[in-house]
Amino acid sequence: MGRGGPAQGGSLRDFDPVKIEPTSAENPALFSSIRVYAVAEKYDIKDLKQLAQSRFSIWASNNWNHSEFPMMVQEVYDSTPSSDRGLRDIVETIVKKNAYCVLHNDEFKKFLINQMGELGVVVFIGALEEVRKLTEEKQLVEKELREIRFVQGADFPLRRQIRYPPVT
């Protein structure tokens, strides 16, 4: 049997979703794992559902910054019930991991506004910005502590005061 999936004489398990080069002509291929997952759920075909989930996870993990990703996320939320966490957990993990970059995508912002409302998105972006600021402050404090430990380790008198950045 050949490699590359059913269209090339291979099997479905030989198909490599990472190798899909998405173009507008191939747009349906991007959504196939999501749609197969939904159909497998509807007809209770566990192995097919697991395979579709695995294929989607591989593609999404490698292509979360693709222009079609926000539409795929919308498709996941439109085609699966909230109680089915399979694809939703994958999406949520990827978005959390790459939140700062994803939130600068206008299409993704539109999706979030549709799902959470504009206020929810503003609050979410604000909270993310606060986390970023706190992370920067933490790094500054850790740098100061390393410098203090270096000075103390050299038996120099500690004459320096730690200056914390103002909290706004």
| Alpha helices (runs of H) in 80-105, residue ranges in sequence order | 86-97, 99-102
Supply the pLDDT for residue 42.
Answer: 93
Most confident of 13-27, 40-54, 107-121, 139-153: 40-54
Which residue type sits at 12? L
The per-residue pLDDT for range 25-57, each reduced to its tens digit, is 445 567 899 999 999 999 999 999 999 999 999
CA distance 20 to 6: 14
